[in-house]
Every structure is written in structure tokens, then in C-alpha cells.
Amino acid sequence: QVQLQESGPGLVKPSETLSLTCAVSGYSISSGYYWGWIRQPPGKGLEWIGSIYHSGSTYYNPSLKSRVTISVDTSKNQFSLKLSSVTAADTAVYYCARHLYGSGPVDPFDIWGQGTMVTVSS
Amino acid sequence: SYVLTQPPSVSVAPGKTARITCGGNNIGSKSVHWYQQKPGQAPVLVIYYDSDRPSGIPERFSGSNSGNTATLTISRVEAGDEADYYCQVWDSSSDRDVVFGGGTKLTVL
């Protein structure tokens, strides 16, 4: 079955760039679907960061757009998140997930990774 | 930007029916998805496109959406249903944004 696994540093310094990767197994990203990133600060709710199609087409949260880059590497069957100029407010559990169907962000997230905690601190 | 409003908490006795609302301006014109999240776990999709249920989700979970309110209904509530529930929509206006509600903590008494 399809599985997603986030990886990356658990600690990032303020003003630096947060970089995470989501490895996909059980399905070839190049076959379709949109793939997304969602985060959840400790004790708070879910916030969408952005989504990407295998072709590289992207949608970003308007409030984060200036700092976010999501890319896809079909050769490695993974997609990545970069969030620049981080502050303590970016401390959160970061999830990668798949959009059901292939229509785009209108589709729900049907498969999620387990999440990875990223702390922004000096 | 589009805002989804959920009650912070809902309490229900075992065997009763829980209704969790999600309010938004003309939300009935949008497709609503619902997620269940238990402590320390990733969210799980329980209802999508207003009222569809993924395989493996009990029939006790149902959804509706009309006017300014979408509702997740959980019938014959069990202790294992205790969790946070989030509604979510795609706002295709100029912002083009995936929006989550603030979440509702369901407590089984």
C-alpha cells in the first residue's frame, strides 16, 4: 500500500531554511495525484502549507507563499519542502500527505505520513 | 481569506449521537472533508466530499452540508471515537487556499 515518510532536521536555527523530504513508497509519483505538506504547531490545529503535482505545478498557502518552495523529484519518488527565514512560530509537526484522486487541492488528503517534529531554536 | 468555525469541544455519552458543526460563509457551495486525529497520531480522513465515507470508516460516521453549516454526525458513539475532528475545504476564490477549521475535541463521557 502507499506509504509516506517525512525526513529532515529536527532542529533549525532562526532565520535559516527548513528543509524536509517526503519519500513515497508503494506508488510512483510520476503516475499522478497531488501531494501536499501540512503542519501543526504544538497543541494547535492543522495548517496547509502547499501542494504539488508530479508535473511540478504548485499551489501555496497565500500566507506562507513568499517563504515556501515545494518541489518534486520523480527519479527518487519523493517531494520536498523548503521554508525560508524561519522563526519560533514555524515550530510544528510537519506532515506530508496525498490528495485523493488527481483533481488538485480540492481533493481531500487520504494518506498521511506519520509527521516529523521541527523545532526552530538557536 | 475564508474562515471555518468549529466549536472547541463537544461532549457525548457512549451510545448517543455526536454532531460536530463547521460554519463558513455559504459553505454549502463547497466540498467539505472531515478528519479525525487522536493524540500523537496523524489525521485520518473520515468523511470526504460532504458525505462520502472512505473504506474502513464505520457507517456510524456521516456528513451533511447545506447553507452556512456542514455537520459531521457520529452515531452510537464509542470510547474510541474520542479525538480531535477537523473540517477542511478548498477555497477557490482569489486566495486559492486549503482551509482547515480550528478543530473540535470530542469527549466521550
Q: Which three cell numbers stand for residue A105?
A: 487541492
Q: What mean pLDDT, rounded, does chain A reach?
A: 96
How far apart (Å, rounded) are the C-alpha atoms in residues A80 and B56?
A: 30
CB contact under 8 A, B97 and A108: no
Q: What pLDDT, on the 0 to 100 scale, is given for residue B70?
A: 98
Mean pLDDT of A34-38: 97
CB contact under 8 A, B101 and A110: no
Q: What pLDDT, on the 0 to 100 scale, is given for residue A101?
A: 84
SS3 B108: strand
Mutate to test the interface with B, among A106, A107, A111 (most CBs of B within 10 A): A106
How far apart (Å, rounded) are the C-alpha atoms in residues A18 and A82?
A: 6
Q: What pLDDT, on the 0 to 100 scale, is given for residue A103?
A: 87
Q: What pLDDT, on the 0 to 100 scale, is given for residue B95?
A: 76
* B49 in contact with A, Cβ within 8 Å: yes
Q: pLDDT for A80-121, tens place per residue? A: 999 999 999 999 999 999 999 888 999 999 999 999 999 999
Q: What pLDDT, on the 0 to 100 scale, is given for residue A102?
A: 83
Q: pLDDT for A64-80, tens place per residue? A: 999 999 999 999 999 99
3-state SS record for A17-57:
CEEEEEEEECCCHHHCCEEEEEEECCCCCCEEEEEEECCCC
Q: Above 90 in pLDDT, residue A40? A: yes
* A45 in contact with B, Cβ within 8 Å: yes
In order along its 109 residues, chain B shows pLDDT tens digits of 899 999 999 999 999 999 999 999 999 999 999 999 999 999 999 999 999 999 999 999 999 999 999 999 999 999 999 999 999 999 988 778 999 999 999 999 9
* A2 in contact with B, Cβ within 8 Å: no
Q: CB within 8 A of A30, min separation 6: which ones?
A: A54, A74, A77
Mutate to test the interface with A, among B98, B100, B105 (most CBs of A within 10 A): B98
More confident: B48 or A32: B48
Mean pLDDT of A20-48: 96
Separation in Å, CA of A111 to nearest CA in chain B: 8
